[in-house]
């Protein structure tokens, strides 16, 4: 997850942002405690690539934009899901069903592109 007001942190270093998922979530919430609106913007990115030898054959990227909540909500999912709010669905990722999450998540979008690519081979 990349948070605009945190200059893209925690980013690819999410696992190092705290010893547990709860600690990582709390650190993000603490760092954003005085910010509102657009400053709480966050994104998930997922990229898949297929390569052969030294040649890149195909890539797909999925992206999900949202915002960081003021407090965790929901019991599903993992990682930053309880604090990542998706305005279009008016839920955090942790409040979504697996089907809802797979339809909107960055990973789900990239996997769908991968599935279509592989089906066309």
d(CA 101, CA 57): 28
Would the pLDDT of 121 be above 90? no
pLDDT single digits (tens) 55-111: 989 999 999 999 999 999 999 989 999 999 999 999 999 999 999 999 999 999 999
Is there a contact between 108 and 102 (Cβ–Cβ < 8 Å)?
A: yes
pLDDT single digits (tens) 1-57: 999 999 999 999 899 999 999 999 999 999 999 998 888 999 999 999 999 888 989
**Pairing, β 91-92 against β 2-3:** unpaired
Concatenate the DSSP letters of all residues of 54-110 into one string. Answer: TEEEEEEEEEEEEEE-SS---SSSSTTGGGEEETTTTEEGGGS-HHHHHHHSHHHHH
Query: What pLDDT shows up at residue 36?
Result: 87
Whole-prediction pTM:
0.90
Query: What pLDDT shows up at residue 75?
Result: 94
d(CA 77, CA 106): 14
Query: What pLDDT shows up at residue 54?
Result: 87
Is there a contact between 84 and 40 (Cβ–Cβ < 8 Å)?
A: no
Query: What pLDDT shows up at residue 21?
Result: 95
* Phi/psi of residue 79, nearest 5 degrees: 60, -125
């Amino acid at each position: 997850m990349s948070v605009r007001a945190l200059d893209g942190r925690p980013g690819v270093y999410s696992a190092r942002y705290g010893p547990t998922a709860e600690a990582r979530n709390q650190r993000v919430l603490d760092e954003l405690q005085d910010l509102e609106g657009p400053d709480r913007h966050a994104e998930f990115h997922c990229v898949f690539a297929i390569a052969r030898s030294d040649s890149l054959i195909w890539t797909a990227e999925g992206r999900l934009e949202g915002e960081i909540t003021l407090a965790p909500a929901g019991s599903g999912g993992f990682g930053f899901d309880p604090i990542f709010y998706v305005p279009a669905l008016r839920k955090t990722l942790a409040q979504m069903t697996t089907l809802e999450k797979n339809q909107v998540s960055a990973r789900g979008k990239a996997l769908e592109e991968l599935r279509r690519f592989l089906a066309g081979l």
